[in-house]
Structure 1
Amino acid sequence: MNDHDVLPPIGPPVPVAMPPMADVRLGNGLRVIAVRHASTPLTELRLAIPLDTESFAEAAVQEVLTASLLGHSGPGERGPADQGLAASGGMLSASRSARWLGVTGSGPVLPLLLDVLALSLTRPRFTDEVVRAVTVRAQGQVAATRTQPQLIASEALVEHLYGSLPQMQDVPRAADLAAVTPDEVHLAHRRWVRPDQAVLIVVGDLHPARAVEQAERALSGWERAGGTPRQAAQGPLLPHLRNRTIARVPRPGATQTQIRLVRPGLARTDPGFAALTLANIVFGGYFSSRLVAEVRERHGLAYRCESVFRDHLDQLVVAVEADTATEHGSRTLGHLQAQLRRMAEEPPTSAEIEAARRFVTGMTALSTSSQQGWAAGLMLALAGGQQPEHISRILDDFTAVTDDDVAAAAARFFDPDDFHGVVLGENLTPFETETSL
Structure 2
Amino acid sequence: MTAPVSHRSADEIGRTEQGPRPLPELGEQRPSADLSTVDTTIANGLRVIAVRRASVPMVEVRLRIPFADPAASSVGSQHSAWAEVLANTILTGTATRDRIAIDTELALVGSELDAVVDPERLSISGSVLATGLDTVLDVIRDVLTGATYPADEVDRERDRLVERIALARSQPNVIAREALQKHLYGDHPFAKEMPEAEEVARVSREEVVALHAKAVLPRGSVLVLVGDVDPDAVIGTVESVLAGWTGEGTAVTISPLPPVTPGDVVLVHRPGAVQSQIRLAGRAVQRTDPKYPALQLANLVYGGFFSSRLVENIREDKGYTYSARSHPEFTIHGATLLIDADTASDVTAAALLETRYELARLGLVPPTESEVDVARSYAIGTLLTTTSSQSGLASFLVNLVALGLGIDWLVAHPQRLQAVTPEQVAAAALEFFAPGNFTGVLVGDAELLKPKLAALGGVSFQ
TM-score range relative to shorter protein: over 0.9
5 Å matches for 1:34-433? 34-53=50-69, 54=72, 57-73=78-94, 77=98, 82-108=103-129, 109-224=132-247, 226-231=248-253, 237-241=256-260, 244-311=263-330, 314-426=333-445, 427=447, 428-430=449-451, 431=453, 432-433=455-456
Q: Which amino acid aligns with 2:349?
A: S
* Rounded Cα–Cα distance in structure 1 between residues aligned with 2:97 and 2:309: 54
Deviates more, 1:14-23 or 1:259-268: 14-23
Distance between the aligned counterparts of 2:212 and 2:305, measured in 1? Answer: 40
| Distance 1:23-1:284 versus aligned 2 partners, 3 A rule | same
Is 1:24 the counterpart of 2:36? The answer is no
| Higher Cα Rg, which structure | 2
Once residues 74 and 143 of structure 1 are traced to their aligned partners in structure 2, the CA distance between those partners, rounded to angstroms, is: 33
Q: Tell me how far apart the structure 1 counterparts of residues 415 and 137 of structure 2 sit (CA, whole Å).
A: 35
Q: Is the 8 A contact 1:269 1:384 kept in 2?
A: no
- In 2, the alpha carbon distance for the partners of 1:187 and 1:370 equals 38
CA contact (8 A) 1:268 1:385 kept: no
Give distance in 2, aligned partners of 1:220 and 1:22.
18
Letter in 1 for 2:240: R
SS at match of 2:40: strand
SS at match of 2:322: strand
Q: What amino acid does structure 2 have at the position aligned with 1:60?
A: A
**Distance in 1 (alpha carbons) for counterparts of 2:385 and 2:201:** 43
Instruction: Name the Cα RMSD after superposition.
Output: 2.2
Amino acid at match of 2:62: R
Shift of 1:78: 5.2
Residues 46, 201 of structure 1: 8 Å contact kept: yes
State yes or no: 1:13 paired with 2:32.
Answer: no
SS in 2 for 1:303: coil
| Preserved CA contact (<8 Å) 1:44 1:375 | yes
Gap change, CA 1:369 and 1:243, over 3 Å in 2: closer
Structure 1 residue runs of 5 or longer lacking an equivalent are none
Deviations 1:146-204 (A, max 9, x none): 11111110111122233223333222110000111112111111222100011000111
The 8 Å contact of residues 238 and 313 in structure 1, kept in 2 or not, is answered as: no
Q: Which amino acid aligns with 1:68?
A: T
| Amino acid in the other structure paired with 1:27 | A
Q: 1:321–1:166: structure 2 CA closer, same or farther, 3 Å change rule?
A: same
Q: 4+ runs of 1 displaced by more than 6 Å?
A: none
Could you tell me whether the CA contact under 8 Å between 1:29 and 1:196 is conserved in 2? yes
Q: Structure 1 CA distance, aligned partners of 2:409 and 2:421?
A: 20
- The separation in 2 between residues aligned to 1:278 and 1:179, in whole angstroms, is 47
Listed as ranges, the gaps of 5+ residues in structure 2 are 1-15
8 Å contact kept, 2:281–2:338: yes
1-side partners of 2:318 and 2:295: how far apart? 27
Q: Report if the CA contact (8 A) 1:278-1:356 is conserved.
A: yes
1:137: how far off? 1.4
Q: Is the 1:72–1:119 contact (alpha carbons within 8 Å) kept by the matching residues of 2?
A: no
How big is the shift at 1:228? 4.5
Q: Distance in 1 between matches of 2:333 and 2:169?
A: 25
**Structure 1 residues 207-257: Cα deviation after superposition (integer angstroms, max 9, x where no partner):** 111111111121111002x245443xxx85122557732111111022210
SS of 2:456's partner is coil
Q: Deviations over 1:80-105 (max 9, x none)?
A: 66533221221111111221110111
Match for 2:115: what amino acid? A
Question: TM-score w.r.t. structure 1 length?
Answer: 0.93
Deviation at 1:128, TM superposition (A): 2.5
Q: Give, in whole Å, the separation in 2 of the partners of 1:318 and 1:409.
A: 12
Cα displacement string for residues 31-64 of structure 1 (whole angstroms, at most 9, x for unaligned residues) = 1111111111111100111111225521000000
Amino acid at match of 1:62: A
- Identical aligned pairs, as a percentage? 36
Q: Is the 8 A contact 2:363 2:429 kept in 1?
A: yes
